[in-house]
Amino acid sequence: MAVLYCLKAICGIAWEVRGEENIPERPVILVANHQGQWESLYLQTVTHPISSIIKQELLLIPFFGWALAFMSPIPINRKNKLQSLKKVINQANARIKANFSVLIFPEGTRIKPDIGIAPFGNSCGLLATKNNIPILPICHNSGKYWKNKQFIKHPGTIKVTIGPLFHGNNPKKLTDEVRLWMKDEYRKMN
């Protein structure tokens, strides 16, 4: 959280959050749209303990990667999608059994803010139904202020909405419901 407050003070990037009352005190599959680095920092503060799915290359970055390793991430090789999906399911199941929430960016990669919400992979629905836990969706527009792969930050207030819990027993249907909620919420923000 200290990094976020430094960004606020130095770069003028503030944030406002709606829906904090929707955060349960039990493990969830936390699902968010992915636009840049800001949400990667913010989402780590939503619930504890939390385990994120990350690119395995991030663990190789001196100091940063070493620190990241202490956060119990689930590192994946995005070049091998099927193997990565199996790894995510197996390791996320273990984290959930250990009382961790699991953070997933179901779009798979960072999406430009003007594109909106991209199609979702089904891993969030699979994990939620397999472990009988809800999905907690979080929608934001952080990419408008901290653009992906750009050093310059643009002052403004990031809007974050924490949605209602989504439950279901059909992974595809559950994933689609969460994506529809997120698309609608994102439209309202912009």
Q: Return the domain boundaries, the chain.
A: 2-189
Q: Check: pTM over 0.85? Answer yes or no.
A: yes
Kindly report the average pLDDT of the chain as a whole number. 90
| Residue range 2-189, CATH number | 3.40.1130.10
82-138 pLDDT, tens digit per residue, is 777 788 888 999 999 999 999 999 998 889 999 999 999 988 999 999 999 999 999
The pLDDT value given to residue 50: 93
Instruction: Name the helix (H) or strand (E) containing 138.
Output: strand 135-140
Instruction: Give the whole-angstrom CA distance, residue 25 versus residue 48.
Output: 9
146 CB-side CA count, 13 A: 23
DSSP 101: E
Which positions ≥6 away from 59 have C-beta within 8 Å? 65, 66, 68, 69, 73, 75
